[in-house]
A and B are shown apart, each in its own frame.
Chain A
Amino acid sequence: DAGVIQSPRHEVTEMGQEVTLRCKPISGHDYLFWYRQTMMRGLELLIYFNNNVPIDDSGMPEDRFSAKMPNASFSTLKIQPSEPRDSAVYFCASSRKIQGTRTEAFFGQGTRLTVV
């Protein structure tokens, strides 16, 4: 399997611009997570989906952030408008349950976002 695939790997944008991050989970995984990593706050869960349905978005910082999962193989995280404090590494991860047992989450390579 190719693993979790994120694009782009790096994104530099100007303040106020819209940014869209993309993620393709591992085939067969029914949970998808978006995390943000910064030096100050560590790894924060932003939102997660189960079977394409958003379950918990309590970590989404504010209305400028939105996430969608239109099908089992694709998700986006959008920031509009972007601000310098959004600069971080954004990770997408996926996992599944096997006979009720929780498995590990597999992470993509991350998108390093810089807002100038």
Chain B
Amino acid sequence: AQKVTQAQTEISVVEKEDVTLDCVYETRDTTYYLFWYKQPPSGELVFLIRRNSFDEQNEISGRYSWNFQKSTSSFNFTITASQVVDSAVYFCALSGTSGTYKYIFGTGTRLKVLA
């Protein structure tokens, strides 16, 4: 079975602090894909990043960075110098390559950035 766990239900930080959102996944597939999505208060789901299981390079995009570690089945997301506009619910998702073509989402982490 495939599963995504986001143990942090809610995190509050003060603006300009760095924050890391954790994501742990389970899959038996050797090839799989991991994703992060952002859901701002307006409600839409915005794609942030995709990573395949063969690419363990960390990625940085502006203030966002992602740390993928197969050894610990984790795909963590760090926001550097957080801003109020980063306040949202963040979802980690997994899609395997055996069986059905599903995107399995974690329960999300609500990030509140306080001014």
Contact = CB atoms under 8 A, between A and B. Distances in A.
Answer yes or no: are A and B bound together in one complex.
Answer: yes
Interface of A: 31, 33, 42-43, 45, 48, 50, 55-56, 89, 91, 93, 95, 101-107, 109-110, 112
Interface of B: 33, 35, 37, 43-45, 47, 50, 52, 91, 95, 97, 100-108
A110 B95 contact: no
B108 A105 contact: no
A102 B95 contact: yes
Contacts, number: 50
A102 B33 contact: yes
A103 to B, nearest CB: 7
B45 A102 contact: no
Contacts of B105: 42-43
A101 B44 contact: no
Nearest to B95: A102
